[in-house]
Structure 1
Amino acid sequence: MPPDPAPAWDAADLLEGWPALPGVGAAMTDRRGGASTGPWSGFNLGDHVGDAPAAVAANRDALQRHLGVRPVWLRQVHGRDVLRLAHADAEAGAPAPLADAAVTAERGLACAILVADCLPVLFADVHGRAVGAAHAGWRGLAGGVLEATVQALCGLTGGTASQLRAWLGPCIGPAAFEVGEDVLQAFGAAGDGSSAGRFTPQGRRDGRARWTADLAGLAHDRLRACGVHDVSACGRCTVQDPVQGGLRFFSFRRDGVTGRMAALVWRR
């Protein structure tokens, strides 16, 4: 008998710091529960990582029933394109749109971001008029995906960035995220860039200089720079945060072949 695909997670602790806003719902999954097996074992929601399509479909159906809202899944490519969601995007058989962020003022649609070390960022207008979500790995973050999402949300509401609330979900933590000079240069931190304090030297590996990077801290800096001042963070590391009986999160950096979790936000 296959495993019960129902989610076994309780989002309350992962959503610590998410602002209570009128008419706005949010969720963050982990790997517990679900129908997937093997390296994707648990509640894998990614359909592009080699898992059995039937298992992914069962997990996604279980999530939709659990939340009572229709997620729109994106084809994420570490870019900065933002999709404005409409109900047609959630229809059965609709192709996954190519984007790394989504915003909507429609009710009943969830902006959904898949992650396994990259940073998920959820947004909501303080008055509950619109919501958004962004996939912020280091490439998308350096490329301006958060700024593009803020601009799209302000275009929807007619408001300002200061009227937005942002939440930074679990991601690879500073102790686990080792990077090279290409990442420093992408953030302008190789000289006297404002992001320099988010990188810690770690010596040399294979003749190359290495650093550890604070991905959530870099995102926080960029949000504040574009006018979003109310930013909260989950603070969990996807590589190293365990639960009783196993590891809580999917982590590409740790495991290579693995599943994907989802961060979602919607208007009720």
Structure 2
Amino acid sequence: MALTKDFRPVRKVFTNRAGGVSAAPYDSFNLGDHVGDDPAAVAANRARLASILELPAERLVWMEQIHSNTVTVVDGPVTEPVEATDAIVTTVRELALVVLTADCVPLLLSDDQAGVIAAVHAGRMSARNGIVAKTVSAMVELGAEPARIHALMGAAASGKNYEVPEHMANDVESKLPGSKVRTAKGTWGLDIRAGLIRQLLSLGVQAIDSDPRCTIDEESFFSYRREGVTGRQAGIVWLP
């Protein structure tokens, strides 16, 4: 009997908070090692993630996320998180790029034909300061074309719940048009995903999918705004 092999050119995965071993308030599938959780529990959760992805744990590339607009190209496995960066890009197969979030937008990008992928931590400041445009530019330098790039955004804080002062909303809107909104309470807020969709379209990226779920609303996700002390879910992209 012949076996059918999966020939998908790229894979994108998002996790939620279920299925791990971490205790409250990190329960249970916390993948962040910088939030105060038991290191042994985080290690066990990360090992399970690698097993589910059917990749060696050393093939997962993590970031030291600092809400910057720094983009780093990686050309192989690394033993420590990539320092002080909020986007990583690669052309290397079986190298999984990981972004951690708990309200910020996790953005996964790929040009299947060129074999270029990226994982982006698009928080308020990094999105405001152009990290997505810089990531697309880095992908283009490696052979990608915007018209071929597929963008996938995971669950994040929604405009109806993400309250900010008006001056902050105005500041982000000035750099990321389309992000300033009114919340469900009628206060000023931000919809970072809406702003990023508009920006991606302006960059020539047309294939855009976005999970509409709000991490603040949905208790199946970690949310810093809802919980304060909490874990992190992940977005992962790799070329098989």
Name 2:171's counterpart in structure 1: 185
Asked if residue 99 in structure 1 is aligned to residue 85 in structure 2, the reply is yes
Aligned pair partner of 1:166 in 131, 143, 151: 151
Show the 5 A alignment for 1:50-129. 50-69=36-55, 70-89=59-78, 91=79, 94-127=80-113, 129=115
> In structure 2, what residue type is equivalent to 1:263?
G
Local SS of the residue matching 2:42: helix
1:208-252 CA deviation, whole Å, 9 max, x = no partner?
Answer: xx40221210111111111211111111111112xxxxx200000
Residue type of the alignment partner of 1:83: T
Contact 1:128 1:267 in 2 (8 A): no
1:200 is aligned to 182
Q: 1:135 to 1:194 in 2, by over 3 A?
A: closer
More strand by share: 1
TM-score (norm 2): 0.90
Whether the 8 Å contact between 1:22 and 1:128 is mirrored in structure 2 is no
Residue 229 to residue 65, structure 1, CA distance change in 2 (3 Å): same
Q: Give the aligned partner of residue 17 of structure 1.
A: none
Percent identity between matched residues is 35
Aligned residues of 1:130 and 1:156 also touching (Cα < 8 A): yes
Provide the residue aligned with 1:244 in structure 2: none
Q: Name the counterpart of 1:239.
A: 216
Secondary structure, aligned partner of 2:194: helix
The runs of 5 or more residues in structure 2 that have no matched partner are: 1-5
Q: Secondary structure at the match of 2:216?
A: coil
Once residues 121 and 28 of structure 1 are traced to their aligned partners in structure 2, the CA distance between those partners, rounded to angstroms, is 10
RMSD of aligned Cα (Å) = 2.1
Change (3 A) 1:31 1:128: farther
Aligned length: 231
TM-score by length of 1: 0.81
Which residue of 1 is the match for residue 230 of structure 2? 258
Q: Distance in 2 between matches of 1:73 and 1:108?
A: 14
Counterpart of 1:200 in structure 2: which amino acid?
Answer: R
Instruction: Check the 8 A contact 1:21/1:128 in 2, yes or no.
Output: no
Report the Cα offset of residue 66 of structure 1: 1.1
Distance between the aligned counterparts of 1:217 and 1:264, measured in 2?
Answer: 21
For 1:36 and 1:255, the matched residues in 2 are separated by: 16
